[in-house]
Chains A and B, each alone.
Chain A
Amino acid sequence: MSDTRVAERAAEPAAPSRPRRNLAGRLLRATEVDTRLLGMIVALAVIWVIFNIFSGGTFLTARNLWNLSVQTAVVAIMATGMVLVIVSRNIDLSVGSMLGMVGMAIAILQSEILPDWLGFNHWAIWIIAVVVAIALGALVGGFQGFVVAYAGVPSFIVTLGGLLMWRGVAWAMASGRTIAPMDGTFQILGGGARGSIGSRASWLVAILGCLGAIAMLVSARRQRRRFGFPLRPMWAEVTMGASGCGVILASVYVLNHYFKPAGLAEGRTDIAFGIAVPVLITLGVAMAMTFFANRTKFGRYVFAIGGNPEAAELGGINTRWMVVRTFMVMGILVGIAAVVQVARLNAATTGLGTLAELYVIAAAVIGGTSFSGGIGTIPGAVLGALVMQSLQSGMVLIRIEAAYQDIIVGIVLVIAVGIDTVYRRRMTT
């Protein structure tokens, strides 16, 4: 649905040499489902089933999936921004170090600076921390974007420098100390014992999500009719709507079946955690970013720049300002991710976020973003982050040694991108 590969959609119906006129092919074509996204969902399902078998049925429990959703949040939030950066033919290697620096800044703010002014556990502390995180992220991101766009230094180099610099700044801010603990309300943003919204609110979110998905389908159909585009068959629309709703409701069902241990629920064993706050934040960010990418001028311009920078420039797009904004958005997302990470850990260490940039880039790329620019989807990146985290958490669950974990993750990354490259080549020939 929210797909940007116009070229591929155009190529599909105009391929008369396609021999497979079977049901599956017709089904896929009618629903216009992005086969690549579908492939990734299948891959995710396969990974989950394999881990479930090897872990003796522990992987596919409500509890593990709830944990997985929280563990994915930090990388997923940043991956949505990385998609835009990579689509515009840039790269940002500094996100891990930026995360560490912003995290350290808000930790020091919360545990040392603000308590002096406002006293401990003041209601405004967490708000100030979040605002500072976003502002700092935007500032740093914007600065890097400025150097890339206006000084013409390749983004690889600028962000490589950033990777080194911000880690050093993070260290300098606290002389290497670990800062803990965080403000009580702030901790909620990271999940944990109090960081989820409970079953009733989760069902509400699920119903809203379902209604939203149906509304989008209806409005898309109406738009098509208005502009004379071919409509999807009704049964295809219904299938899409039903499966979308089904996925949302099933996910919330699972999250609502992770019950609080008696110690946290005053003896009761039927109070569910529900959707964790970091997961809500991730979903909100993903929806906002998808909207920005597909429905705003900003998003269209980013894809235009990525597809053909010269044409974009000649066409009147202020490419430099766009690049600055892309990096600024990345910085804002890093700020949000830092909030979630520090809240989750309830501490900030100088090593926070080390190597995160690699997982973020891997997530975006597994999700279908191409390094040649102009191609990528936000939902794909979130799925990519989920795939990566499933692999890692699953491997810890079945006790694979750290070294072998790295090997497996590396292999999976190359295979995933390899399949994508081959697929793309077949599509465009």
Chain B
Amino acid sequence: MLNRRLMVVLAAIAILVAACGDGDTTTTAADGATTTAADGATTTAGEDLVIGVSWNNFNEPRWANFDEPAIQEALAAVGASYISTDAGSSADQQLADVENLITQGADALIILAQDGTAILPAVQSALDQGIPVVAYDRLIENAGALYVTFDNVEVGRAEARVIFDLVPTGTYAIIKGNQADANADFLRAGFEDVIGEAVAAGDITICCETYTDNWDTALAQTEMEQFLTQEDNAIDAVLSENDGMATGVVAALEAVGLAGSVPVSGQDADFPALNRVALGTQAVSVWKDARELGKAAGEAAIALAQGSALGDVPSTIIFDSPGGNAMTSILLTPIPITSDNLNLVVDAGWISVDELCQNVASGTVGVCP
């Protein structure tokens, strides 16, 4: 009897201590954050900063290979620490991830949104707690966040310009990305800017257009096969919104012997795509030097964590988002890579000559031996 009562008392004390302890930490964190944010003049030393990055999914090649190292480098330059989470393509998971990063003591967040609309509550919650947010590459409709991206509409225009030059009249197929990703619509708007007039004039017919769940490569291949069946191979050009889907599109074209004669576009400059540009089966891959993006986002996150206001971050402009928000943004310029300027990616150390020139017949491409 006595033992049991003793146990209960001890348990109660333990719980109380734990609760009080937690209470303290929460208070400290909140205080710390408020002080840094409110007191614009004081800058916290770089070493004390923790920057949290919420990735949506590491399945696209570029994030782990280029964006992440670049961000880490920018943070290491001032001694800030880097923590990250991977949401595995789940919007719900990403909400939890953002909370997790805040709990781990992030002073600023960089978020690559799986779903720009679904992430809004987490973003608002972070901003309310005084933690600045950088929307990385994908739009988050909250004017309190800093939008760091390549000008995605410009990416679309760059892709379309190359294809339009090659095929000014004819039938186009458009393979778009994930419907829930605002970028898919930005790119489409870029395409429209370049080919819209020709479509209205009847010179170009868009026979086939579709969104592709998760920007999936194999799905893009099936979609292209169906389009080719529907049009009986009479497709003259394909605007694919990224390289992953371009892989599937080119595989479908190859199966009917049209690879190389039907120009295909893409973006991300991933290695198989650049190889295809060298081989001639892909006309263009828009290079967004993800290292530049990572660096810009990392530096912006540090500036924000140190107390800068949104407008004071260097190189920002105001971008009017489709949702009507005046987003403070850093818009970087993309570079379209065609067979004429492959040397750019080699010289910048983005891809090695061996990988670029796999199976390329010698003498066909300047950069390849």
Closest to B248 in A: A345
Q: How far is the CA of A192 from the CA of B250 in the complex (A)?
A: 11
B357 to chain A, nearest CB (A): 12
Listed stretches A79-87, A137-145, A258-266, A281-289; interface member: A258-266
Does B26 make an interface contact (CB < 8 A)?
no
Q: How far is the CA of A412 from the CA of B243 in the complex (A)?
A: 33
A246 to chain B, nearest CB (A): 26
- Per-position binary interface string of chain A over residues 117-156, scored 1 when its CB falls under 8 Å from any chain B CB and 0 otherwise: 0001000000000000000000000000000000000000
Residues 210-237 of B at the A interface (beta carbon under 8 Å): 210-214, 216-218, 221-223, 225-226, 229-230, 232-233
Q: How far is the CA of A179 from the CA of B270 in the complex (A)?
A: 10
A58-B230, A120-B359, A345-B248 known; A393 vs B272 contact (CB < 8 Å):
no
Does A346 make an interface contact (CB < 8 A)?
yes
Residues 32-65 of A at the B interface (beta carbon under 8 Å): 55, 58, 61, 63-64
Q: How far is the CA of A31 from the CA of B44 in the complex (A)?
A: 85
The answer to whether A176 and B59 have CB atoms under 8 Å apart is yes
The answer to whether A351 and B217 have CB atoms under 8 Å apart is yes
For B248, what are the chain A residues with a Cβ–Cβ distance below 8 Å?
Answer: 345
- Per-position binary interface string of chain B over residues 56-74, scored 1 when its CB falls under 8 Å from any chain A CB and 0 otherwise: 0011110111000000000
The answer to whether B65 and A393 have CB atoms under 8 Å apart is no
The answer to whether B226 and A350 have CB atoms under 8 Å apart is no
B360 to chain A, nearest CB (A): 12
For A4, what are the chain B residues with a Cβ–Cβ distance below 8 Å?
Answer: none
Residue of A63, A177, A344 touching B251 (CB-CB under 8 A): A344
Q: How far is the CA of A362 from the CA of B315 in the complex (A)?
A: 53
For A179, what are the chain B residues with a Cβ–Cβ distance below 8 Å?
Answer: 272
Q: How far is the CA of A67 from the CA of B222 in the complex (A)?
A: 9
For B333, what are the chain A residues with a Cβ–Cβ distance below 8 Å?
Answer: none
For A181, what are the chain B residues with a Cβ–Cβ distance below 8 Å?
Answer: 272, 275, 358-359
Residue of B213, B247, B250, B261 touching A349 (CB-CB under 8 A): B247
Q: How big is the B interface, by class?
A: 35 or more
Does B336 make an interface contact (CB < 8 A)?
no
The answer to whether A396 and B257 have CB atoms under 8 Å apart is no
For B230, what are the chain A residues with a Cβ–Cβ distance below 8 Å?
Answer: 55, 58, 397
Majority DSSP secondary structure for residues of B touching A: helix
A193-B257, A354-B216, A396-B226 known; A176 vs B63 contact (CB < 8 Å):
yes
Majority DSSP secondary structure for residues of A touching B: loop
The answer to whether A67 and B225 have CB atoms under 8 Å apart is yes
Residue of B61, B211, B247 touching A402 (CB-CB under 8 A): B211
Q: How many residues on chain A are close to B (CB under 8 Å)?
A: 43
Does A422 make an interface contact (CB < 8 A)?
no
The answer to whether B210 and A399 have CB atoms under 8 Å apart is yes
The answer to whether A347 and B217 have CB atoms under 8 Å apart is yes
Does B350 make an interface contact (CB < 8 A)?
no
Does B197 make an interface contact (CB < 8 A)?
no
Closest to A356 in B: B218
The answer to whether B244 and A178 have CB atoms under 8 Å apart is yes
- Per-position binary interface string of chain A over residues 386-429, scored 1 when its CB falls under 8 Å from any chain B CB and 0 otherwise: 00000011001101011100000000000000000000000000
Closest to B231 in A: A58
For A58, what are the chain B residues with a Cβ–Cβ distance below 8 Å?
Answer: 229-230
The answer to whether A63 and B244 have CB atoms under 8 Å apart is no
A177-B271, A347-B247 known; A67 vs B358 contact (CB < 8 Å):
no
The answer to whether A180 and B272 have CB atoms under 8 Å apart is yes
The answer to whether B60 and A176 have CB atoms under 8 Å apart is yes
8 sampled A-B residue pairs with Cβ under 8 A: A111-B358, A176-B59, A176-B65, A181-B359, A261-B256, A345-B218, A349-B247, A352-B217
Could you tell me which B residues sit within 8 Å of A by CB distance? 58-61, 63-65, 179, 208, 210-214, 216-218, 221-223, 225-226, 229-230, 232-233, 243-244, 247-248, 250-251, 254-258, 261, 270-272, 275, 358-359
Could you tell me which A residues sit within 8 Å of B by CB distance? 55, 58, 61, 63-64, 67, 71, 111, 120, 171, 175-181, 191-193, 195, 260-261, 263-264, 341, 344-347, 349-352, 354, 392-393, 396-397, 399, 401-403
Known A171-B58, A402-B211; further 6 A-B contacts with Cβ < 8 A: A67-B225, A177-B61, A177-B270, A178-B272, A261-B258, A403-B179
